[in-house]
């Protein structure tokens, strides 16, 4: 019995001392935490996608608590629901979230472009890109090995006919695919925008035409027909300035007049050619 006590008592004493020190330290050196923080953090989806521009959901929640000027509508995956909850907790006015969707700026599917080599390497766009810019004859286009598919947390992207396609119903606009694509083919547009240039080939028209019959040849016809001056050909490829493109009086006039049909209109079922 005595042997047990001589072992137990010192351990208990040391344990109690340690506990006392910890309790005192925790009380004395407590750091004040905003009591709204747990509630705010609870609202956010916790995907840590970084679409808000902060380092994960914790970072955004912290910024919301500390700085009252932080907008509550930055969480794109959370959309209006989260924004409404956040503004309730923080007591600020509700701001509408502009939902974003990813769009792929390439329409070089198997029918319109071809492979220049047989690629047998690692099944990854990033790896294929290192080998002479990928297997396709267009080095600007979709590599078709699905790095974006792998990174998408909502299974909203698939590779169909050799080109990545976004299912806009499932896309929450987190932008992880846009960061992953080695050819930078994916960008986020506000969900209300419905005209998309589906080509990123910066070569001159004749060169583009040889590798892909869907490629933008930079003919500038869209520039001429656009009533708002929102579409410009930059580096031999048409680019839409979505700030100007809003409220177009003649919807999709650029798409209707595109010589090669690389300007697409999009709705919930995906992107479509007008012609």
Query: Footprint of another protein on this chain (CB under 8 A)?
Result: 6-7, 10-11, 14-15, 18-19, 21-22, 25-26, 29-31, 121-122, 127
List binding-site positions. 49, 52, 57, 75, 138, 142, 148, 152, 171, 174, 177, 181
What is the smallest separation between the CB atom of 23 and another protein, expressed in angstroms?
Answer: 10
What is the smallest separation between the CB atom of 119 and another protein, expressed in angstroms?
Answer: 13
What is the smallest separation between the CB atom of 125 and another protein, expressed in angstroms?
Answer: 13
Nearer to another protein, 125 or 189 (CB): 125
> What is the C-alpha to C-alpha distance for residues 26 and 59, in angstroms, rounded to an integer?
24
What is the smallest separation between the CB atom of 2 and another protein, expressed in angstroms?
Answer: 13
Query: What are the CA-CA distances from residue 216 to residues 21, 39, 41, 101, 203 (Å)?
Result: 71, 49, 45, 22, 9
Asked whether the beta carbons of 106 and 161 are under 8 A apart, the reply is: no
What is the smallest separation between the CB atom of 180 and another protein, expressed in angstroms?
Answer: 14
What is the smallest separation between the CB atom of 22 and another protein, expressed in angstroms?
Answer: 6
List binding-site positions for [4Fe-4S] cluster. 49, 52, 57, 75, 138, 142, 148, 152, 171, 174, 177, 181
Q: Under 8 Å CB-to-CB from 44, ≥6 apart: which residues?
A: 57, 60, 61, 75, 78, 82
Nearer to another protein, 118 or 268 (CB): 118
Nearer to another protein, 81 or 121 (CB): 121
Nearer to another protein, 1 or 268 (CB): 1
What is the smallest separation between the CB atom of 214 and another protein, expressed in angstroms?
Answer: 32
Nearer to another protein, 131 or 160 (CB): 131
Nearer to another protein, 121 or 270 (CB): 121
Half-sphere exposure of 274 (CA within 13 A, CB side): 20
Nearer to another protein, 29 or 268 (CB): 29
């Amino acid at each position: 019995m005595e042997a047990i006590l001589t072992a137990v008592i010192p351990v208990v004493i040391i344990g109690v001392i340690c506990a006392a020190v910890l309790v005192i330290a925790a009380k004395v050196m407590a750091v004040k935490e905003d009591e709204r923080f747990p509630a705010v953090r609870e609202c956010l989806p916790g995907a840590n996608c970084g679409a808000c521009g902060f380092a994960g959901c914790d970072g955004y929640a912290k910024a919301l608590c500390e700085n009252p000027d932080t907008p509550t509508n930055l969480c794109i995956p959370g959309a209006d629901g989260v924004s409404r909850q956040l503004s309730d907790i923080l007591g600020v006015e509700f701001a509408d979230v502009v939902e974003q969707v990813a769009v792929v700026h390439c329409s070089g599917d198997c029918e319109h472009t071809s492979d220049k080599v047989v690629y047998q390497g690692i099944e990854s766009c990033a790896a294929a890109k290192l080998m002479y810019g990928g297997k396709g004859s267009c080095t600007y286009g979709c590599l078709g090995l699905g790095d974006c598919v792998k990174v998408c947390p909502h299974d909203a992207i698939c590779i169909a006919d050799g080109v990545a396609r976004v299912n806009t119903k499932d896309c929450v606009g987190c932008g992880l695919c846009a960061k992953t694509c080695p050819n930078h083919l994916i960008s986020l547009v506000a969900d209300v925008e419905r005209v998309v240039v589906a080509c990123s080939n910066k070569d001159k028209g004749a060169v583009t035409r040889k590798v892909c019959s869907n490629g933008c040849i930079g003919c500038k016809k869209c520039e001429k027909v656009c009533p708002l001056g929102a579409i410009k050909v930059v580096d031999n490829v048409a680019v839409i300035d979505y700030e100007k493109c809003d409220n177009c009086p003649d919807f999709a006039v650029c798409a209707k007049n595109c010589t090669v049909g690389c300007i697409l209109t999009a709705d919930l079922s995906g992107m479509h050619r007008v012609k």
